């Protein structure tokens, strides 16, 4: 089944300014709809395009993919605009691993390089694979492991009805992460910007600054106030820094 087309931004000439398409990938188990508010909170020169994964959001009826390559093929199928227009890719946590691998996949398919890869709350690829597998635990053990890993919002973990729906999606995402093998640290042909939470115990500066080995040029490492979910709790600070890294004026500025 061909993946549904991702929303297509207005062409740059329609807005009178050069538009950079920013493709955004969510953290494990989440929907890319979480990025919808960014469409009005980032400068108009940045067109935010949430990349929805199978099994969530508008793609809820589809089966979540538990293998990396088929998922990358699926996502790339909705990014034909990136062959013609400048773009960047962003991902948080598990989405950061996907964003990194998606950039590599797009380049292998002949896409031009992105202007920038941006990741947040995500250890460098060679440190991203968990020490213990999670996807194959019982539902009870799975939920408790997610709680200890602090990579899933507590409000979701405490909602039994929602967890019944989301456990298959979370298992699929963790199957990808648990089996992930990072490629050799050959730099991408684009720069990398990395954001980490000051209080994030699992993806702090010590493991995020090692993204520098994958950056085509000096990596930009930025600290953000908050823990692993600073993209929600410190959204204004994150978006202002992202805008600067993308060469756009800060949100709210002309």
Sorted by where each begins, the domain ranges of the chain are 12-130+184-245
Whether 56 and 30 have beta carbons less than 8 Å apart is answered as yes
pLDDT of 70 reads 97
Of these residues, 93, 120, 193, 215, which one is catalytic?
93
Q: Dump pLDDT digits (tens) for 56-115.
A: 999 999 999 999 999 999 999 999 999 999 999 999 999 999 999 999 999 999 999 999
Percent of the chain with pLDDT strictly greater than 90: 70
Q: How far apart are the first and last CA of the chain?
A: 43
Instruction: Say what the pTM is.
Output: 0.88
Question: Taking Cα atoms as reference points, which of 211, 234, 210 lies closest to residue 223?
Answer: 234
Highest mean pLDDT, choosing among 29-33, 149-153, 162-166: 29-33
**What would the mean pLDDT of 16-25 be, rounded to a whole number?**
83
pLDDT of 14 reads 42
**Catalytic residue list contains 93:** yes
Distances 131 to 94, 211, 232 between C-alpha atoms, Å: 15, 19, 27
pLDDT of 13 reads 42
Asked which of 37-41, 120-124, 144-148 is least confident by mean pLDDT, the reply is 144-148
Q: CATH class for domain 12-130+184-245? A: alpha beta
Mean pLDDT of the chain: 89
Give the rounded distance of the alpha carbon of 78 from its chain centre: 16
């Amino acid at each position: 089944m061909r993946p549904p087309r991702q929303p297509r931004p207005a062409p740059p000439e329609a807005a009178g300014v050069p538009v950079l398409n920013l493709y955004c990938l969510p953290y494990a188990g989440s929907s890319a709809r979480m990025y919808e508010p960014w469409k009005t909170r980032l400068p108009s020169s940045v067109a935010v395009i949430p990349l929805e994964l199978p099994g969530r959001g508008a793609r809820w009826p589809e089966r979540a993919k538990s293998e990396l390559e088929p998922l990358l093929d699926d996502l790339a199928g909705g990014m034909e605009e990136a062959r013609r227009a400048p773009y960047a890719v962003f991902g948080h946590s598990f989405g950061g691993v996907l964003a990194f691998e998606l950039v590599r996949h797009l380049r292998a398919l002949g896409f031009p390089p992105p202007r920038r890869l941006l990741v947040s709350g995500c250890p460098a690829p060679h440190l991203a694979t968990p020490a213990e597998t999670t996807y194959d635990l019982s539902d009870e053990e799975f939920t408790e492991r997610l709680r200890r890993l602090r990579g899933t919002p507590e409000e979701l973990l405490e909602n039994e009805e929602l967890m019944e729906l989301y456990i298959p999606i979370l298992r699929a995402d963790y199957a990808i992460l648990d089996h992930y093998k990072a490629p050799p640290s050959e730099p991408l042909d684009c720069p990398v910007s990395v954001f980490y939470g000051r209080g994030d115990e699992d993806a702090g500066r010590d493991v995020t600054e090692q993204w520098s080995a994958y950056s085509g040029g000096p990596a930009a490492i930025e600290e953000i106030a908050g823990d692993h979910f600073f993209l929600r709790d410190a959204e204004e600070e994150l978006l202002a820094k992202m805008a600067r890294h993308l060469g756009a004026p800060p949100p709210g500025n002309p």
